Amino acid sequence: MIKGFKGRLTTPDDTGYEDQRHLWNEAVRTRPALIARCADADDVALAIGHAVHHGLPLTVRAGGHNFAGRSLADGGLVVDVRDLTSISVAPENRVARLGAGLRWGQVDPVLQKHGLATTGGSVSKVGVAGFSLGTGLGWLGRGHGLAGDNLLGATIVTADGAVRDVGPEAEPDLYWALRGAGTGLGVVTELRMRLFPLVRPITGTLVHRLTDADAVLWQAVEATASAPSHLNWAAVLTSAPPIPGLPDDVQGRPVLLLPVFSTGPDGEDDPHVRALRRIGRPLLDTIAPTDFCTFQTSTDEAAPDGMCWDVRSEWLTGLDGPAADHAVAAIEDASSPLSEFLFRPLGGAISAPDAPDTPFSYRHAAFMTEIIANWSSGDGAAERTWSEKGLAGLMHLSAGGPDVNHLGLNESATRTSTAYSPATLDRLTTIKQTHDPHETFQTPPWINPSKTSPTEQ
């Protein structure tokens, strides 16, 4: 069907189409006309040429974990890079070359063998490419920056079929865009990431009763307000996962989880870790020295395959009493034990004055929130309304827009257009017009290429 194509081509008439099409989020029902699982960059160029020739909407798929299913288009051709899984590590230069089809669970263990790591996802099946071409907020983020901050270069096949190596010196505009707004511009086949020495972390979770959540959350915010960048933590309101040692009366009931991650020099004696442990009366405290890769897979079970999901997210200027009250009340109304409110602190390297210039527009934010709704059958209308309402109760703290990596189903244009600042969107629009003038690749909803770019005014 595509002359010279070495990988696998699948249409809806082929056996195995459903398997090939399948995404993590079952709520996404999009059905592409052709799935092109590419063996290399030449296959990618051939697939792009085929889409152009036949006028097919063109998308790119890596780990398939985008909540909104942006890797597929109805009736389109999907360039599937899942088989591009090469890894090479140059420990002396602290650089890894990562094939765009890798997932974090395939990368972290290889880097760890070299005593190295980079900012990756907190669930191991998430794709390296989609994660890093968007925000890329991980446990090492406060210490070492977002994934895009650590993207040193990439290989990308653009709409004209050209294979380009981009970096600070080569195609700097394209390189800039890939560091946080890299979808819809081409097919990235390889990412070159900066690595850091891996320090054995202190990690674990503090579990608190929901009745104490308000006070504990507030004290945790205060206790970490001036914490060094090696300390990271999050607040998760969700149903208690099946952790041994939890009292029977909270099993499966909403609780507050405080996952903690520290790579500080004082290990378990880190004063900020100790301060978090001293708050309230935790039902359980699992904090201990941990293998990094074990921690990186520790929440995989909370995001199983084969279920339906939606998410709403927002960058927040801070947390306050009304926000905490709202989240605590809302989690009691969640219909699924896998639904959650999540608050992740920023700061550290993410908001440092010398942070690199990338499309990420919310370095001034103090927190990112995700309201994740889960359901297993039905249309999910009630669950989606729940996450919308969940977000509405936090919007008084909005720093300006949502996280591009956590845009959900059917988000409004008003929301998608605030995923980046207006100046960033203008620059992205110009880059889209330059490198994909005919919109060969499906245009992300935050870009408006028909708008006159600043350079044309």
Q: Which residues bind ligand FAD (CB under 6 A)?
A: 24, 59-67, 70-71, 81, 100, 121-123, 126-127, 129-131, 133-138, 182-183, 187-188, 303, 405-406
| Closer by beta carbon to ligand FAD, 128 or else 273 | 128
Q: Is 386 exposed, middle or buried (0-12, 13-18, 19+ CB in 10 A)?
A: buried
Side-chain-facing half-sphere of 56: CA atoms under 13 Å: 24
Question: How many Å is the Cα radius of gyration of the chain?
Answer: 22
Give the CB-nearest residue to ligand FAD. 130
CA distance 77 to 354: 40
What six digits make up the tokens of 423?
Answer: 């100046």
CA distance 57 to 406: 23
| Closer by beta carbon to ligand FAD, 41 or else 273 | 41
| Closer by beta carbon to ligand FAD, 127 or else 204 | 127
Q: Is 138 exposed, middle or buried (0-12, 13-18, 19+ CB in 10 A)?
A: buried
Least Å distance between CB 363 and ligand FAD? 15
Among 136, 125, 122, which Cα is nearest to 82's?
125
| Closer by beta carbon to ligand FAD, 60 or else 195 | 60
CA distance 106 to 124: 8
| Closer by beta carbon to ligand FAD, 132 or else 418 | 132
What HEC string does 344-401 produce? EECCHHHHCCCCCCCCCCCCCCCEEEEEEEEECCCCCHHHHHHHHHHHHCCHHHECCC
| Closer by beta carbon to ligand FAD, 63 or else 254 | 63
Least Å distance between CB 67 and ligand FAD? 6
Least Å distance between CB 300 and ligand FAD? 8
Least Å distance between CB 457 and ligand FAD? 29
Least Å distance between CB 256 and ligand FAD? 19
Least Å distance between CB 106 and ligand FAD? 12
